[in-house]
């Protein structure tokens, strides 16, 4: 990496490491991760894939993965949505949301929010992450600590 490129990314690196310490981001445990689809006909939203973290049992899917994602997600693996699958869903549904529920480890206060697909794919239930919550959604600053045993407990 040349000097100019390094200097360009340096503020992002510094911010990611300090955002929670400066109060710009909340450090939360990702307790739930799900894809919520809104049909065109104003029916109730469809929770197509809901993955939860249990402190004793580890990560698992709450229910069966909905048929629209059944061929795209292995029920033994974390939820990750490819760009092509996201494009297909956006063509079939009025709205596609990539949602998480994060709880502050010290207080137990929990919040739900929407992430962009790339940030959604970056986190797994059980991870400790620094999240910036906004009224229009949230942004992942960094994954502080990865949940190590997800493949052992699925």
Rounded CA-CA distance 114/10 in Å is: 27
Give the tokens for residue 70: 């059944």
Give the tokens for residue 145: 């600590």
Instruction: Output the pLDDT for position 149.
Output: 56
pTM reported for the whole predicted model: 0.78
CB 134 within 8 A of CB 111: no
Q: Which among 104, 95, 143, 94 has a CA at the least distance from the CA of 121? A: 143
Q: Which domain holds residue 67?
A: 3-153
Q: How confident is the model at residue 73 (pLDDT cuts 50, 70, 90)?
A: very high
Q: How many domains does the chain have?
A: 1
CB 20 within 8 A of CB 93: no
What pairing do the DSSP bridges indicate for beta strands 46-54 and 110-115?
unpaired
Instruction: Output the pLDDT for position 23.
Output: 57
């Amino acid at each position: 990496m040349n000097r100019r490129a390094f200097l360009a990314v340096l503020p992002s690196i510094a911010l990611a490491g300090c955002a929670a310490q400066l109060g710009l981001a909340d450090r939360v445990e990702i307790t739930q991760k799900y894809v919520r689809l809104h049909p065109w006909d104003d029916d109730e939203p469809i929770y197509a894939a809901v993955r939860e973290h249990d402190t004793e049992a580890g990560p698992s899917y709450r229910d069966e993965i909905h048929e629209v994602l059944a061929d795209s997600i292995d029920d033994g693996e974390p939820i990750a949505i490819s760009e092509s699958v996201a494009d297909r869903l956006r063509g079939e549904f009025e709205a596609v949301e990539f949602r998480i529920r994060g709880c502050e480890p010290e207080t137990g206060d929990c919040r739900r929010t929407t992430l962009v697909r790339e940030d959604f794919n970056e986190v797994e239930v059980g991870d400790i992450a620094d999240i910036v919550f906004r009224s229009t959604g949230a942004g992942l600053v960094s994954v502080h600590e990865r949940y190590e045993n997800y493949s052992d407990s699925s």
